[in-house]
Each structure stands twice: as C-alpha cells, then as structure tokens.
Amino acid sequence: MALMTGEQYIESIRKIPMQIYMFGKKVENPVDDPILRPALNSVRMTYDLAQMPEYQDLMTAISPETGERINRFTHIHRSTDDLRKKVKMQRLLGQKTAACFQRCVGMDAFNAVYSTTYEIDQKCGTHYHENFKKFMLYCQEKDLTVDGAMTDTKGDRSKTPHEQADPDLFLHVVERRPDGVVVCGAKAHQTGIINSHEVIVMPTIAMGPEDKDYAISFAVPLDSEGLYMIVGRQSCDTRKREGSEMDVGNAEFGGVEALTVFDHVFVPNERIFLNGETEFAGMLVERFAGYHRQSYGGCKVGVGDVLIGAAAVAAEYNGASKASHIKDKLIEMTHLNETLYCCGIACSAEGHQTASGNYIIDLLLANVCKQNVTRFPYEIVRLAEDIAGGLMVTAPSEADFRDAKLGPVIDKYLKGVSGVSTENRLRILRLIENLALGTAAVGYRTESLHGAGSPQAQRIMIARQGNLEHKKALAKAIARIKEDSSL
C-alpha cells in the first residue's frame, strides 16, 4: 500500500469503533468533535507532509525489509543519520502545528521493542522479535499510526506492582490461555491514543521475579473488546465548542491525552513481545525512555520556534520591538531553544548500533536533553508572557469584539501600532495564551516537565550513566595522585 494521504488517514480513524468518553458521556463521533478534531489534525500533518516532495527526506524512509518508501514514524533507525533526521522531522512538525502531533511515542516504542525483543530471544529462545517484526511490517504496509503505552497509574509509589492493594494499578496478565493472554489495568496520560490505529503496551518500571505477571508487552488494535479511553481535560478546552476561532488561539491544531483502560483485553500470542521475562523489563523501559527523551529535543523546539515568533510579532504590534530589553529577551529565548535542539542532535550523532542492528541514541545525552526540557520551556514561556503583556489574559472575547455596540469600543481602546488591526493584535495574543496556558500547554509547557518521565527520573539516569569513577580517575591522574592500597 502507498503512503496514506491526510484525508485517507482521517477516514481510516473514522472507521474504527473506539470506545471514547469525555465529560461523562460516550463520544459517538470523535473525528468531528470540535474539542477532539484539532488533535486529529495534528496527526494528519504527519501524513500531509510525507506527501510533499520537499519534505520527503525527513518525513519518509526506505524500509530495508521491503525496499518500499514508508513514513518515518514506522521506521527502525538504521544509522545516526536516521536518528538526526528524526529530530529534524519533529522540529518541522512542531513548527507546522504548534502542538503535539502525537506519533513520537509509537515511533520510540517501535525502536525500543525492536532491539529489546532481539536480545530476549537470544537469551531465552523466545520468538518475540519475529512477532514484533511481523507487526512492524503490517504497520509499515498499512501506514498506520501506532501509540505507545508505558505509564501505569502506579497507586502507592512505595510499593512494587505485586504489592499493590489493587493489582490493576499496574497493567498485568490475569489469565493465560493456549492462544494468548488476558490483561487488566490502565495506562495514564496516553498521548494521541484516540487518533491511533494500534497501541504498543510496555511495562513502566524495572521488575523483580515476583512481578512476572506485570512484565508484559504487546500490541492490540484500538477497537479491541474491553479497551476504552477517558479523555483528559485541558485548560480552555471548551472554548473549542464556542465557535470562536480567535479565542482558541490555535484553531486548527492541538493535542489530546486519555486514561486508557484495559478491562480483560485478550492479546493473541503473535502480538506478544514480552511475557514474564522480568530481567528485560528495565532494558525496555530504559531504551524507550531514552528514545523519547531524545524526541523532546525536536518537537518542543519546533513549538518553541512558533512561540518565539509570536512573541516577536506581539512586540511589533505593541510598538516595543526596538526596545533593547525586548531584543535581549528574544535572544535569550532563541538561545534556550537552540540549546535544546543541540542536545537532541548531539545524542543522535553519538548514537550506536545495538545487537539487533538498529541504532540507539547516547542515553546520557538523551537524558541531559530531557532534563533541559524540564526547565528551558518554562523560561521561554515566562519571557513570552513578559513580552506579550497583561492583555494576553484579560482581553475580551471574540463575541464581544464582534458585537455591534462593544466591538467599536474594544477596537478603539485595544489598538496597538498604526497599520495593525486590533483583531490581529488580539489573535497573536491568543496564540501566546494558547501555548502558555491553554490547550497547547499540555503539549509544550506542562508536558515539558512530566513527559517521558519526571525530572528526577532523568537525574537518576544521569547519575547512573555519568561515569563518575572515570572522571575521578582523570582528576587523580592530572594531580599525580598515587593511592596506597594498604591505608
């Protein structure tokens, strides 16, 4: 099958009878729901750009298995060049949508599961790698969007999975059958799952032998019996139902998260990639987390480009663009944003080949990348809010602006520099509000902190991979220290 067009993708999602709930009701038509449609449009962009010759090199790749051109989101990284192109592709999509385009989790799961299953098979004589390759080829051939599900709800964080009062607080196997397994549990914060065809499920932490039933990885379609999703709320989300393009800020694109429940979902044997081999759960988590932390050096940078541009436009409309302190703030925003990009490119360039043949990033640098992402976007947002001014959060609604009596008053008093309409000034301020505080904030500011693991999770990995003993040895060598082992 050829690469899907954006419209073909939309219609393919329309045909899937997903069980989606929002505001206490089942969503009968999620594709056309005004709150959910912008997130679908963001994923559509990953298909639209893949059709454009000028973006073919970034958005697509040649599958070494079939020789066919595929969407890069279903590709297995075969070189450090692939890793760099991934980051550049993510920056491009961030620039085009100013939102979360939702396919990164699945792409990162693809590559983590690919290498981990190979190593499980080598040690345990299982067939997980062949299972995954068949699934991978199916997704490449159909040009499917695949989500990745790792984060369990966790319950009492002081307890391991098998110690929880409610065993479902970590997704686990509840029944083993000759033809597969049945699982129960939930995965939280599932980015873009309602816009996906399939989902890859992975364990969320390293596990011991007692957690065997929780060491499970598999893939199922989104219309699987027993699988349903509860859409998460976002700030200002119901503005999308009001029919105001201006008040939304980013009327076309957005992101979506959901709590995804697996209520006795059956998984056939051929779709299982890990099943009780607890010693490999940590490897899968670490590799997925590394890939996903690399991703933030691309997607958040692209959205940051839009926010920096919006702040610069707001400064022009306010008549403040020539002020030295405004110029300095824009320089600082650019410096921080490009630093994030440097980290994404660096961990890609320093990647290496795994035993399976695919390439993984430098894990230390990937964690440094994400650690910076937990901080820098907050400062970029702060500076953007500073430049925009208080009107960003006190401007009247579009309904007031269009009102016959109130509109002329708003137009008179909220006008900025001559030659720029009040409407355009309000539009750019609403975009900044959307990126800083509104529905896009979940895909930029807040997600920058918690996505791909908490800041502490990255610090743990940095400590583990920082090789402090090697650094101490370097210092001792320069200082000509000779230690007496008898002391």
- 182, with CB counted inside 10 A (0-12, 13-18, 19+), is middle
- Residue 202 and residue 152 in one domain: yes
Residue indicated by tokens 């379609």: 221
Mean pLDDT (the chain, rounded):
97
Asked if the model's pLDDT at residue 396 lies above 90, the reply is yes
State the DSSP string of 248-317: HSSSS-----EEEEEEEEEEEGGGEEEES-GGGHHHHHHHHHHHHHHHHHHHHHHHHHHHHHHHHHHHHH
Where residue 397 sits, what CATH number does that domain have? 1.20.140.10
**Per residue, what are the HEC states of 181-243?**
EEEEEEECCCCCHHHCCEEEECCCCCCCHHHHHHCEEEEEECCCCCEEEEECCCCCHHHHHCC
DSSP code string of 366-397 = HHHHHHHHTTHHHHHHHHHHHHH-THHHHPPP
Whether 273 maps to a domain, the answer reads yes
Q: How far is residue 117's CA from residue 354's CA, in Å, rounded to a whole number?
A: 12
- Please, what is the Cα angle at 140 between 214 and 46, to 5 degrees? 95
Return the sign of the alpha-carbon dihedral for residues 200, 153, 100, 341: negative
Q: What is the mean pLDDT of residues 335-344?
A: 98
Would 485 be classed as within a structural domain? no
Q: Domain check: are 230 and 319 in the same one?
A: no
pLDDT beyond 80 at 485: no
How confident is the model over 374-397, as a mean pLDDT? 97
d(CA 304, CA 372): 14
3-state class percentages of the chain: helix first, strand second, coil last, to nearest 5: 55, 15, 30
pLDDT at 94: 97
Give dist(CA 472, CA 481) in Å, integer.
Answer: 11
**Is the predicted pLDDT of residue 433 greater than 90, yes or no?**
yes
Q: Side-chain half-sphere of 153: how many Cα atoms within 13 Å? A: 17
State the amino acid at position 153 in one-letter form.
T
Is residue 450 situated within a structural domain?
yes
- For 3-37, b where at least 16 C-beta lie within 10 A, e where not — what string? bbebeebbebbeeeebbbebeeeebeebbebebbb
> Are 78 and 214 within one domain?
yes
Pick the closest to residue 303 from 152, 133, 126, 439 (CA basis). Answer: 439
What pLDDT is recorded for position 1? 61
- What would you report as the CA-atom Rg of the chain, rounded to the nearest whole angstrom? 24
- Tokens representing 131? 């299972």
Domain containing residue 201: 6-279
Q: Are 359 and 82 in contact (CB under 8 A)?
A: yes
Structure tokens at 370: 């994400």
Listed range (236-250, 282-296, 362-376, 445-459) with the worst mean pLDDT = 445-459
Q: Is residue 62 part of a domain?
A: yes
What's the pLDDT score for residue 435? Answer: 95
Going from the C-alpha of 445 to that of each of 45, 376, 382, the distances in angstroms are 21, 9, 10
Q: Is residue 480 part of a domain?
A: no
List the CATH number of the domain containing 125.
Answer: 2.40.110.10
Cβ atoms within 10 A of the Cβ of 64, count?
Answer: 10
Q: How confident is the model at residue 446 (pLDDT cuts 50, 70, 90)?
A: confident
Type of residue found at 189: H
Is 33 in a helix, a strand, or coil? Answer: coil
Residues 197 and 310 in one domain: no
What's the pLDDT band for 404 if we cut at 50, 70, 90?
A: very high
Q: In this structure, what token pair is assigned to residue 181?
A: 């397994």
Structure confidence by residue, pLDDT tens digits, 46-96: 999 999 999 999 999 999 999 999 999 999 999 999 999 999 999 999 999
- The owner of tokens 């958040």 is 300
* Residue 114 covered by a domain: yes
Nearest to 250 by CA among 92, 116, 441, 381: 441
Task: Enter the tokens of residue 248.
Answer: 């939304």
Residues annotated as catalytic (active site), given as ranges: 100, 104, 191, 257, 292, 296, 299, 447
The total number of structural domains in the chain stands at 2
Domain co-membership, 76 together with 224: yes
Whether 19 and 49 share a structural domain = yes
Q: Are residues 134 and 322 in contact, defined by beta-carbon separation less than 8 angstroms?
A: no
Q: Do 267 and 131 share a structural domain?
A: yes
Does residue 483 form part of some domain? no
Q: Does one domain contain both 348 and 458?
A: yes
Number of other residues whose CB lies within 10 A of the CB of residue 473 = 12
Query: In this predicted model, what pLDDT tens digit does every residue of 28-46 receive, in sequence order?
Result: 999 999 999 999 999 999 9
Binned at pLDDT 50, 70 and 90, residue 443 comes out as: confident
Place of tokens 């008898």: 486
Q: Write out the DSSP string of 146-160.
A: EEEE--B--SSTTS-
Q: How many angstroms separate the CA atoms of 201 and 227, rounded? A: 12
Instruction: Verify that 123 and 148 share a domain, yes or no.
Output: yes
Give the closest residue to 34 by CA, choosing from 303, 260, 247, 307.
Answer: 247
* 97-107 per-position pLDDT tens digit: 999 999 999 99
> Rounded CA gap, 307 and 333, in Å?
9
Quick one: pLDDT at residue 439?
83
Same domain, 307 and 237: no
Kindly state whether residue 478 falls inside one of the protein's structural domains. Answer: no
The percent of residues above 70 in pLDDT, for the chain, comes to: 100
- Give CA 48 to chain center in angstroms: 19
Structure letter (DSSP) for residue 356: T
- What is the C-alpha to C-alpha distance for residues 287 and 109, in angstroms, rounded to an integer? 9
Q: What is the pLDDT of residues 101-155, one digit of tens each?
A: 999 999 999 999 999 999 999 999 999 999 999 999 999 999 999 999 999 999 9
> Quick check: pTM over 0.95?
yes
Q: What is the pLDDT of residue 3?
A: 96
Asked if 333 and 381 sit in the same domain, the reply is yes
Domain identity same for 288 and 245: no
Return d(Cα 245, Cα 111) in angstroms, integer.
38
